[in-house]
Amino acid sequence: MTSTQLETLANLISNQTFTNDWKFYLVLVSLVLIGSFFGAYIKSYATEKAKNSAIMSDLSDIKTKLSETTRTTEKIKNELSHEYLRRQSLENLKREKLEEYFRLVYLSKASLQNEMLNAFYDVSEPYDPEALDRCGIIQRLYFPELRQNHLKFSNATSRYEQWSAIGRKDKAERMLKGEANPVPSESILHSHDELWEAVISSVHELVEAGNELAERLNS
């Protein structure tokens, strides 16, 4: 109720005219109803405003969390993409190095025998004395999983080289004694097949391990 309405009501009461005035009751009831209506409206408005404020606050929190989630998701996607590209690049490099490694393994095997033939029989077969060292470096850098197989191959070639050195020494001693076109003694040559078979066997095992590795790289 307004101050004017209250003042009118007070005057009516003081004049005691309201008891016989039915209009007064009508006005009084109307004022009460209007006051109740506005009171309820204001209360409802305040409640709705509080709800809206809470909703806006919740929406702001949701928006902030959504933004953080989006940034986190993008970061994870970028990291996964980077990791995928890194692994893909590494796998491609390992495929190339695996092919190079086995070319050097076969070159090492051929060079091992050709070097022996050149020394024992004075022929001129091509060989690469550094092939074995190069394939060993590649194995250590890129293929630790082939370590045991490569070690067996390396040991077999080492025994063959030691045998070849004994044969060269024997031939040199024969030359010093004046023997024409000497070759290592039969007892030395007799060991060749066993030593060479060990080299071939180690290469076969190395190739099998390499095939398994290649399948994993291509899967």
Q: Of residues 42 and 128, which shows the higher confidence score?
A: 128
| Mean pLDDT for all residues in the chain | 82
**Residue 6 pLDDT class (50, 70, 90 cuts):** low
Query: Which residue has 């993008």 as its token pair?
Result: 74
Other Cβ atoms within 10 Å of 206 Cβ, number = 23
3-state secondary structure of 51: helix
Write out the two tokens for 131.
Answer: 């092939």
Check whether 32 has a pLDDT greater than 60. Answer: no
Query: Which residue has 């995928």 as its token pair?
Result: 84
160 with 195: CB under 8 angstroms?
yes
Write out the two tokens for 78.
Answer: 């970028």
196 with 167: CB under 8 angstroms?
no
Q: State the average pLDDT over residues 43-65.
A: 66
User: How many angstroms separate the Cα of 198 from the Cα of each of 86, 131, 195?
Assistant: 39, 19, 5
Q: Which domains does the chain have, with CATH numbers?
A: 3-68 (no CATH), 90-218 (1.20.120)
Q: State the average pLDDT over residues 65-94.
A: 75
Taking the C-alpha atoms of residue 181 and residue 183, their distance in angstroms, rounded to an integer, is 7
Amino acid making up residue 32: V
3-state secondary structure of 146: helix
Taking the C-alpha atoms of residue 163 and residue 53, their distance in angstroms, rounded to an integer, is 93
User: How many angstroms separate the Cα of 208 from the Cα of each of 25, 77, 101, 214, 215?
Assistant: 110, 38, 14, 10, 11
**Residue 219 pLDDT class (50, 70, 90 cuts):** confident
146 with 209: CB under 8 angstroms?
yes
Check whether 137 has a pLDDT greater than 50. Answer: yes
Q: Of residues 56 and 10, which shows the higher confidence score?
A: 56
Res 19: pLDDT: 47
| Range list of H helices, the chain | 3-15, 22-121, 131-142, 147-176, 186-189, 192-218
Q: State the average pLDDT over residues 19-27.
A: 53
Taking the C-alpha atoms of residue 195 and residue 159, their distance in angstroms, rounded to an integer, is 7
pLDDT, tens digit (0-9, with 9 covering 90-100), for 192-210 = 999 999 999 999 999 999 9
Torsion sign, CA atoms 145, 151, 153, 154: positive
